[in-house]
Structure 1
Amino acid sequence: MKGLILGTLFALGGLVAFGAEQDSDQEIYYILQKGFIKVAGTTNLFDFKGQAVRHEGQLVEKDGSYTGKLLLRFVDLNFDLPGVGEVLERADYMNDKVYPTISIDLDHFTPAKKPTEIKAELAMHGATRPITIATQFEYLPPVVKVTGSFSIKQTDFNVKPYRAGLMKVGDILDVQFKVFFCEYYTENANLKISAETAAKLATDDKISVLMEKGFFGCEEIKKNLPSGQK
């Protein structure tokens, strides 16, 4: 069993303890601040896109089946056009002061089977709708790499596409992401991966895996652990 987890949640680039010890029959994979989450749309005059500067979420594995969550905060989206933040705040559009996040709950899936799509539920603007995400998985223990894409209609979530003067925002938003999740062990941490796997993660994805006495997992996670758990 992973030791000294204390039910930590990897969020906002750090590990925040919330008290309960993790169940012994499940494994938690914490999201890394690697990869990207992008949102893109169109207007009748130009296209626009934004990218999240922080990633939040986790995967939970139990009995070979995985569930997961991704959380995207509007405040963490950097857009390529000025003034988008002010538009998102408008009460007659996204109203992100009242509805600050987009959350994606991933249904049961098995990364080792490399599913080409998975079912999920997306919550935005007070509405929740089922979606299907086109996916690619790569499982390089202790890391799960997930690449995915999907499109949504704003009107499906009770959002009227923004317009100003002659400019009209299209109804469809496209989301693309490449995210990495990593598990770690502090008890019985005598696990090893091949030099080839470690080199691939370091070279391709800039992820460093530590195989030390008392710790096996990603270096980024160890850096964010509370001092008593390092």
Structure 2
Amino acid sequence: MKKQMILLFLFAGLFQVSAQKYATKTGNLKFEASADSFEEVAAENKNTSAILDSGTGDVAVLALMKGFRFKVALMEEHFNENYVESDKFPKASFKGKIEDFDASKLSASSKPVKISGDLTLHGKTKKITVNSKIQKSDDKITITGSFEVKAEDFDIEIPKLVSKKIAEKIKVSFNLPLTKM
């Protein structure tokens, strides 16, 4: 019995060591909230951080709200001061898990996966499931995908004066090129 316990702990340790963590600080996160016939409401954050545990499929993503860049500087200012209140809520985060994840089955061709977890924005957390794609090439795993959110789900108030100029559903897309840590 004692030998079996020692072998079990040794085996568990081997699997833990073989699991790799992959990360990026240059992930790309975009959102589009444009309404038809009005000025484009879109921004991009090219400094999104993310980490993937290849042993468990756990994923964590972090974006600083002031990292989003708009084509129009005034729009960026309104976004930070009036809508997401970046000084009060400086970041958005996602913590989740890739469903049925098996790193050994990854290849250079994209494979569809579902990622479920908690999205936190503007101090509110909501469970979401995202249809994504994942691929592995050499020592790099890339996760891409998109989903939609509503500002009201995160208590982000859109003044009536501009509500027709901003889409009710905000399209969010991401590209996370992760490398071994």
TM-score bracket for the superposition, by shorter chain length:
0.7 to 0.9
Contact 1:119–1:132 (CA under 8 A) maintained in structure 2: yes
Alignment-derived partner of residue 82 in structure 1:
73
CA distance in 2, matches of 1:32, 1:160: 30
Equivalent in 94, 101, 108 of residue 91 of structure 2: 101
Match of 1:30 among 8, 23, 31: 23
Letter in 2 for 1:76: G
Of residues 150, 167, 170, the one that matches 1:170 is 167
Question: Which residue of 1 is the match for residue 141 of structure 2?
Answer: 144
Match 2:41 to one of 44, 48, 69? 48
Structure 2 CA distance, aligned partners of 1:105 and 1:138?
20
2:114 aligns with 117
Greater relative contact order (CA < 8 Å, ≥ 6 in sequence): 2
Alpha-carbon distance in structure 2 between the residues aligned to 1:74 and 1:171? 20
Give per-residue Cα distances to partners, 1:102-145, cap 9 Å, x unaligned. Answer: 11112143153633322121100111101121211111241111
C-alpha separation in 2, matches of 1:103 and 1:31: 14
Tell me, yes or no, if the aligned pair for 2:39 and 2:165 is still in contact at 8 Å.
Answer: no
Output the TM-score relative to the length of structure 2. Answer: 0.76
Amino acid at match of 1:42: S
Does residue 126 of the first structure (1) align with residue 123 of the second (2)?
A: yes
CA distance in 2, matches of 1:81, 1:52: 15
Deviation at 1:88, TM superposition (A): 2.1
Whether 2:54 is the aligned partner of 1:66: answer no
In structure 2, stretches of 5+ residues that fail to align are 1-15
The answer for unaligned runs of 5 or more in structure 1 is 1-22, 185-230
Shift of 1:167: 5.6
Amino acid at match of 2:76: G
Q: 1:165 to 1:104 in 2, by over 3 A?
A: closer
AA aligned opposite 1:154: A
Tell me if the contact between 1:32 and 1:180 (Cα under 8 Å) persists in the aligned partners.
no
Distance in 2, matches of 1:166 and 1:73, equals 25
**Quick one: distance in 2 between partners of 1:101 and 1:180?**
20
- The worse-fitting range, judged by mean Cα deviation, of 170-179 and 144-153 is 170-179
Q: Deviation at 1:154?
A: 0.8
Does residue 156 of structure 2 align to residue 159 of structure 1?
Answer: yes
In 1, the alpha carbon distance for the partners of 2:26 and 2:157 equals: 32
Task: Give the paired residue count.
Answer: 158
CA-based RMSD of the aligned residues comes to 2.4
After the TM superposition, which segments of 4 or more aligned residues of structure 1 sit over 6 Å from their partners? none
- Look up the equivalent residue of 1:57 and give its one-letter code: A
